């Protein structure tokens, strides 16, 4: 659920703007309009009806709260939405929702919504990765102590640490982008056979996919591996954000003081504190992602040709997972874009352990390798 109180705090406000109730309604309506157009393209409904449906949809004022109340009886908002569109379109209402079932519209609308919100998540992942790459280049040869199991180990460079952050963010972003691009339209009819659109079913599905700029695929109404792949990609991206956020929190501690955020947070009772709050809230947002992904993975057991419960469990969970990962990426981007590095403190900490002296190996070369050919 979107929250005016907490979304800005946890970085989800920009992505949440594409996941609110109005966005859901807009996606549902877009699918219905595109479906009528696709059916008209193949002579299943009159082209004039499709024109009237599009005009009716554009003028229709839908209250999400009222739609939600009307959805209780049938268990999803598509059923009352179809009634509204049919009434608004007059005689052309006969051509609303041709050959489809509620899940077709809900799944395709969810894919649209994921794409809209995914653009924001990818942008913030890119911004965070670019900031990490910039830190890596500027501090390619800035020596610091590496720490293993919480203890001082051997010398490294801050550039290599930041390059590692960048590599993880780039990999997570590339995987998420691939998953988002592959999410397809869903059109199968009541039992996934496209019987209601025979003999034009696959052609209508292809036209619908083109109209909505989605991938085309055979019906996947109870085959939910794509949702599992999305869950995994989002959770991995959240983990990629959590790693640098955790390092920033630790390196910014008073006893280390090796980095600090450009706009540190204060305390209500301790005015001397300078909390790395962007990294803190990035970690908080990322912590929610694995649990939400687990819900989607657990809901993969859609029984027979229409799931009684697991399908319904996906809707809000997908949007919550997008908000969690998007928030982690947004807050990490803020942290890294303004991160201040303190080489003097790194040098002082490096000198604490005599046994840890010496050159940082191939750190500089490894920075170059990690940053080479970034996507």
Tokens 């988002």 correspond to: 180
Token couple for 245: 């956020």
Tokens 């970085």 correspond to: 11
Residues comprising the chain, all counted: 375
How far apart are the C-alpha atoms of 130 and 138, rounded to whole Å? 12
Instruction: Return the closest-CA partner of residue 146 out of 136, 162, 158, 163.
Output: 158
Instruction: Return the closest-CA partner of residue 230 out of 280, 130, 300.
Output: 300
Marked catalytic residue, from 267, 357, 369, 374: 267
Tokens 């999803």 correspond to: 76
Pure H helices in the chain: 13-16, 21-41, 47-59, 64-71, 78-89, 102-138, 158-182, 201-212, 225-251, 277-298, 310-337, 343-350, 363-371
Task: Report yes or no: 302 and 348 within 8 Å, Cβ to Cβ.
Answer: no
36 is known as an active-site residue: no
23 is known as an active-site residue: no
Token couple for 115: 């794409």
How far apart are the C-alpha atoms of 32 and 188, rounded to whole Å? 14
Task: Give Cβ neighbours of residue 257 (< 8 Å, ≥ 6 apart).
Answer: 342, 345
How far apart are the C-alpha atoms of 135 and 161, rounded to whole Å? 9
Strands 259-260 and 340-341, sheet pairing: antiparallel
How far apart are the C-alpha atoms of 321 and 288, rounded to whole Å? 8
How far apart are the C-alpha atoms of 327 and 124, rounded to whole Å? 9
Positions annotated as catalytic residues are 267, 306
């Amino acid at each position: 659920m979107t929250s005016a109180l907490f979304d800005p705090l946890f970085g989800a406000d920009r992505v949440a703007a594409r996941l609110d109730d109005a966005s859901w309604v807009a996606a549902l309506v877009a699918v219905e309009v595109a479906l009528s157009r696709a059916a008209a393209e193949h002579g299943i409904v009159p082209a004039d009806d499709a024109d009237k449906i599009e005009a009716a949809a554009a003028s229709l004022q839908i209250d999400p709260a009222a739609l939600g109340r009307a959805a209780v009886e049938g268990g999803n908002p598509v059923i009352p939405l179809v009634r509204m569109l049919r009434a608004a379109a007059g005689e052309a209402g006969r051509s609303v929702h041709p050959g489809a079932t509620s899940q077709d519209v809900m799944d395709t609308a969810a894919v649209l919504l994921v794409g809209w919100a995914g653009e924001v998540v990818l942008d913030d992942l890119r911004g965070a990765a670019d900031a990490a790459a910039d830190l890596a280049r500027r501090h390619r040869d800035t020596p610091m102590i590496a720490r293993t199991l919480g203890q001082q180990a051997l010398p490294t460079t801050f550039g290599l640490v930041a390059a590692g952050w960048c590599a993880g963010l780039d990999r997570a972003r590339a995987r998420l982008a691939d998953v988002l691009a592959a999410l397809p339209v869903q059109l199968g009819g009541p039992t996934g056979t496209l019987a209601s659109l025979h003999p034009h079913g696959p052609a209508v599905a292809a036209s619908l996919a083109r109209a909505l700029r989605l991938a085309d695929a055979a019906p996947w109404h109870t085959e939910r591996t794509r949702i599992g792949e999305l869950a995994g990609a989002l959770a991995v991206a959240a983990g990629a954000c959590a790693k640098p956020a955790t390092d920033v929190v630790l390196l910014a501690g008073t006893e280390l003081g090796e980095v600090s955020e450009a706009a540190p947070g204060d305390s209500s009772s301790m005015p001397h504190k300078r909390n790395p709050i962007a990294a803190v809230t990035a970690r908080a947002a990322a912590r929610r992602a694995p649990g939400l992904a687990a819900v989607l993975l657990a809901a993969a057991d859609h029984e027979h040709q229409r799931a009684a419960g697991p399908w319904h469990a996906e809707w809000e969970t997908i949007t919550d997972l997008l908000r969690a990962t998007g928030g982690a990426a947004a807050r990490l981007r803020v942290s890294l874009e303004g991160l201040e590095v303190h080489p003097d403190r790194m040098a002082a900490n490096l000198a604490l352990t005599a046994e840890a002296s010496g050159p940082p190996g191939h750190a500089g070369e490894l920075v170059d390798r990690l940053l080479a050919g970034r996507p």
